[in-house]
Chain A
Amino acid sequence: MKNIWQILVVDDEEVMCESMAAWLREDGYRVDTASRGKQAVEMAAQTDYAIYFIDLKMPGGMDGIETLMEIHRIHPEASVVIITAYATVDTAIQAMKEGAQEYIVKPCNPQEISMLVSRIIKVKNLQRENAILRKKLTRQYNYRDIITKSARMQDILQLTQDIASLRSTVLIRGESGTGKELVARAIHFSGDRGNKPFITVSCAALTETLLETELFGYEKGSFTGAGAQTKGKFELANGGTIFLDEIGDISPKLQADLLRVLQERAFYRVGGSEEVRVDVRVIAATHKDLQQAIRDGHFRDDLYYRLNVIEIRIPPLRERREDIPVLADHLLERIAREFGKEIASVSEGALRMLMDYDWPGNVRELENAIERACVTTRTRVLTEADFAFLEREVSARRAWSVPAGVPLEEIERRAIIATLERTSGNIKEAAAALGIDRSTLYDKLKRYEITR
């Protein structure tokens, strides 16, 4: 890792420059030298060096401090080490005031300079790693990753951008697999809170008690096994955003608790008497019709209105078929790269198949289909043959005689059981086959009291 870092040594004395450069090169760094401040500034404009060693006293215009100031104008984060033969308190103070990271008197002990260099480089490595990770995060979740040509989706993206920096609660509605979490992340990471936590809670995956402790945390001793005070997701998300997925599935008690958090931005930990205040933006999502749930008495209307300050409805993929080709291209590129396979494109015929298909599992189902085709294909172009399994699903659907007069819930229950049997109880596979996400499947298992 060492040799990626470049160091600039600036001194009017050639012997000093060359010997210092030679010594640093033995340590694996790439080292350049400059004999004048002006030359150093020009070089800094071309290359962002990890460390600048600058002699304080240089004839011919710019001295060390001036050079330091000029370099800082170009690279405010530059690590500058001022070198001097005559230590005076005044110059040391001035150098530090102007932002020198270190001030050393030559000659110095090899150990001192070796430790100084490794200390600065260690920080540089961490900063670089941090920058890369941040870039990865935002790259993963920014708007560019919501691939769309559809005018309706473009409007949604514009809306998410407009509301990114607000604190208003957002309710995202859409079928399973339409990318509700992706939209939530895009809102979070594009807004002022982007560098703060984004915490996801799948409300359908947990029982009421577990969900309560998950959301609000608990005090030591509040129940058997509560060994230490534990922060809940609301506290972890402080300053950032909490994403409550499958909000339509929470119990009446939690609905009341959540309403209180939304109204007062405060809550109590389970078993606690001390009020905890948080600054959290809430984004909730559901695939359910909450207004119907209100009419049925399953969802509180006051909570609904608190959540539904800004509503975003993501259309299913079948209502924006124009997105299928661009999504297919994008997914193919990503999946092929992940698999290390050279797959260039989707053939015309295969694309027609993808366009004709209804995608009940939406983008997630499309993603699974492309992944499956990438795994099985032996060619550089995905053809109709690679998507033959879709045909089978379509014909299976067509051939399937729908039992009339059976409650829909019963049909759904049977479908889930049959799928779980086929996947030997593997929830992930079953959810993918059913075209729903895992949290939705958990929710249905709970509702139909199905045990794996």
Chain B
Amino acid sequence: MPIGAVPEELLAATERTVAEWFPFDPYRLPPLPMPAAAWQPERGQYESVTIMKALAAACPPDAARLLGLTTADIAIPMLSFLFGQAQFNGPIALVSVSRLRQDFYGLPPDGELLVERLAKEVLHELGHTCGLIHCADPQCAMSLSTHVGLVDAKQASFCAVCGSHLVRRLTSSNG
């Protein structure tokens, strides 16, 4: 589900990633307007807990997962920014592309790199919804990225351990 306006190529790339790794049939919901209460004027960012709550309220009852995608820069009170957030073992996940863009860091835009980074973060946040915790393998999508360099260091795939956990989880009855 796009939150506000999200470029088509990013939405399409996200659907491809989901279809490739998860047994879910991705479908797109109409865009959800960014909740006004999420705006934090003193930080110039959006507060992600409020967005997560709005996503939860908009989640269709038959949806296995609801993944929100936004171009807005998101954060929580404790942290200066987030690439994404997820309900651990829950249905809701959120990914922000704001800090995945090269132009955020004053570099020339790179659409291909952005799509690659987005895929990794989509796998990471959906992994959390399946009960995966952060992985010590820096190449695994479940490794914690605290800056964009670490996003680039990982692959758009799971390590053997996280992969097998994921399969077990998704093939069990409550997957």
Binding site for B on A (CB under 8 A): 2-3, 13, 15-16, 18-20, 22-23, 25-28, 83, 106-111, 113-114
Q: Is B56 an interface residue (CB 8 A)?
A: no
Minimum distance in angstroms from B169 CB to a CB of chain A: 15
Residues in B with CB closer than 8 Å to A15 are 47, 49-50, 76-77
Check A110/B85 contact, CB under 8 A, given A2-B133, A27-B134: no
Residues in B with CB closer than 8 Å to A111 are 146-147
Q: List 27 A-B contacts (CB under 8 A).
A: A3-B133, A13-B77, A15-B49, A15-B76, A16-B78, A18-B49, A19-B77, A19-B78, A19-B79, A20-B77, A23-B76, A23-B78, A23-B79, A23-B85, A25-B88, A26-B144, A27-B133, A27-B134, A83-B78, A106-B77, A106-B78, A107-B76, A108-B78, A109-B80, A113-B78, A113-B79, A114-B146
Residues in A with CB closer than 8 Å to B86 are 26
A109 touching B88 by the CB < 8 A rule? no
B85: contacting residue among A22, A107, A113, CB under 8 A: A22
Binding site for A on B (CB under 8 A): 43, 47-50, 75-82, 85-88, 128, 133-134, 144, 146-147
Complex Cα spacing A27 to B143, Å: 9
B79 touching A108 by the CB < 8 A rule? yes
A109: contacting residue among B48, B49, B79, CB under 8 A: B79
For the complex with contacts A25-B88, A26-B134, A26-B144, 9 further pairs of A-B residues with Cβ separation under 8 Å are A20-B77, A22-B87, A23-B76, A26-B88, A107-B77, A108-B80, A109-B79, A110-B144, A114-B144
B contact face: mostly helix, strand, loop, or mixed: mixed
A contact face: mostly helix, strand, loop, or mixed: helix
Minimum distance in angstroms from B38 CB to a CB of chain A: 11
Residues in A with CB closer than 8 Å to B81 are 110
Check A19/B144 contact, CB under 8 A, given A107-B79, A110-B82, A113-B79: no
B133 touching A107 by the CB < 8 A rule? no
Complex Cα spacing A110 to B77, Å: 11
Residues in B with CB closer than 8 Å to A2 are 133
Most buried by B among A2, A13, A16, A111: A111
A26 touching B76 by the CB < 8 A rule? no
Complex Cα spacing A25 to B133, Å: 8
Residues in B with CB closer than 8 Å to A18 are 49
Minimum distance in angstroms from B80 CB to a CB of chain A: 4
A110 nearest in chain B by CB position = B146
B90 nearest in chain A by CB position = A22
Residues in A with CB closer than 8 Å to B48 are 19
Most buried by B among A2, A22, A113: A22
A26: contacting residue among B49, B77, B133, B147, CB under 8 A: B133
Most buried by A among B78, B80, B144, B146: B78
